[in-house]
Amino acid sequence: MIGLGCILILVGLILLFTMTIPYMKNFHYHLQKCARPYAFDYVSWELNTLASLPDELLGTGPDINQEIKLQREIDTVLKKNGIVTFPPIVVQFEKPPCLLVISPRDRVLYADRFLLQQDLSIEEIESLEATVDSLGVSSLVVELGGFGAVCPPIVNDKLTIESSINVAVEEWFHQYLAFTPLGFRYLLDSIGIRQAPEIILMNETFAGMVSREIGAEIESLYYNNQKEEKNNYSSNGFNFYTEMRNTRMIADYYLSRGKIAEAEYYMELRRQEFISHGYYIRKLNQAYFAFNGIYGDSPSSVSPIYSYLQQLRAESPTLKDFIDEISAMCRYDDLIQSLE
């Protein structure tokens, strides 16, 4: 556990170091400069958290609370599926860092991202976004449900039981993947060594699929009487999934024809309509679609990767077989070839 913590601290140091060097374009350097005052301090967080980690979180104390119980349930179900639980199942329940997402204005692209402090005010968020937008890009500060690039991974302590299970599994699984070809490529992208947008989408979509499958088994075994009603994303005939997907496609249509102002005006009108139907969206822009689009099952995504992964999961005899096959991939072409 401590060894893994040291590895992740080293990764954090590398990331912080690379964030201080204008190794890419001057434009990228200016983005770094804007975000740096709000940056999440990896090293301090790791040192403080590991130093104060209670004995029970390491498995040496009594099973006294819901967090410990959840960790042990995840461990049990993963082992039941033949999945090695390395790193150990330990999570930290607190508010995760925020994420500043950058997209060009002329297209939807997950071009850059920066980790920000956990407790930014709405005034600080909007001020940062305005500053970054003034550089000619589209930006969005996102409040994350979980964050796996620290040890232990963070799970938002305000989530429902069902969401807590899924996020805990997903963030742990990202750490599991870091020791595989697929996850290592994602790590290289995260520290700015090699950009790989399709690898990001593969990782996030894959982790989401695995977390939902494991999460459903955990819920069935341990939380049957506490099963929460599923959100079908529909209110008074207004289907969130369908409407958001249509919004993405029409916005892409405008952008593909160079009509940036029209696209942004359209997205703002749609944002107001979503709010009128009970779906609060603070900011709907290119960066919104860029962030949400990295999850292949999201209506914001236009990638076929989710359907490809679904096909391979259907063909896999077990979840472990599916995990072993996908985690060994290191290129998008590997996924395509596996379907042929």
Q: What is the pLDDT of residue 22?
A: 37
Could you say which of 168, 197, 226 is where a domain stops? 197
Residue 304 domain boundaries: 237-339
Least confident of 66-70, 170-174, 296-300: 66-70
In a domain, 223, yes or no: no
- Residue 291, domain member (yes or no): yes
Average pLDDT of the residues of the chain: 88
Residue with tokens 């204008």, as numbered in its chain: 22
For tokens 């603070």, the residue is 282
| SS3 of 21-86 | CCCCCHHHHHHHHHHHHHECCHHHHHHHHHHHCCHHHHCCCCCCCHHHHHHHHHHHHHHHCCCCCC
Structural domain total, the chain: 2
What per-residue confidence (pLDDT) applies to 230?
A: 52
Considering the domain boundaries, does residue 334 fall inside one? Answer: yes
Residues 171, 93 share a domain: yes
* Same domain? 183 vs 63: yes
* 188, 60: one domain: yes
Q: At 297, phi and psi to the nearest 5?
A: -90, 5
User: CA angle, corner 143, sides to 41 and 165, nearest 5?
Assistant: 100
Which two tokens mark 268? Answer: 């703002």
Domain assignment present for residue 210? The answer is: no
Q: How confident is the model at residue 51 (pLDDT cuts 50, 70, 90)?
A: confident
Residues 245 and 325 in one domain: yes
Assess whether pLDDT exceeds 80 at residue 160: yes
pLDDT exceeds cutoff 80 at 44: yes
Whether residues 174 and 28 share a domain: the answer is: yes
The answer as to whether 28 is a domain residue is: yes
Q: Are 155 and 93 in contact (CB under 8 A)?
A: yes
User: Which residue among 165, 197, 229 closes a domain?
Assistant: 197
Q: Are residues 260 and 152 in the same domain?
A: no
Provide the pLDDT for residue 193: 79
Does residue 84 lie within any of the structural domains? Answer: yes
Residues 139 and 256 placed together within one structural domain of the fold:
no
pLDDT tens, position by position, 111-130: 999 999 999 999 999 999 99
pLDDT score at 12? 53
Q: What is the mean pLDDT of residues 226-246?
A: 76
Answer whether residue 205 is part of any domain: no
Residue range 201-206: mean pLDDT, rounded: 97
pLDDT, tens digit, 9 for 90 and up, residues 276-301: 999 999 999 999 999 999 999 999 99
What's the pLDDT band for 13 if we cut at 50, 70, 90? very low
Q: How confident is the model at residue 340 (pLDDT cuts 50, 70, 90)?
A: confident
Dist CA 211 CA 218 (whole Å): 10
Q: Which residues contact 203 (CB under 8 A, 6 or more apart)?
A: 174, 177, 182, 183, 186
pTM of the prediction? 0.87
One domain, residues 186 and 267: no
Determine how many CB atoms are found less than 10 A away from the CB of residue 333: 10
* Same-domain check for residues 242 and 188: no
The confidence band for 32, taking pLDDT boundaries of 50, 70 and 90, is confident
pLDDT number for residue 226: 60
Q: Which of 148, 167, 197 is the last residue of a domain?
A: 197
* Same-domain check for residues 156 and 246: no
Span 227-249, mean pLDDT?
Answer: 80
pLDDT at 229 over 70: no
DSSP secondary structure string for all residues of 262-284 = HHHHHHHHHHHHHHHTT---S--
- My answer on whether 186 and 264 are in the same domain is no
Q: Are 160 and 244 members of one domain? A: no
Q: Is residue 317 part of a domain?
A: yes
pLDDT for 236 equals 76
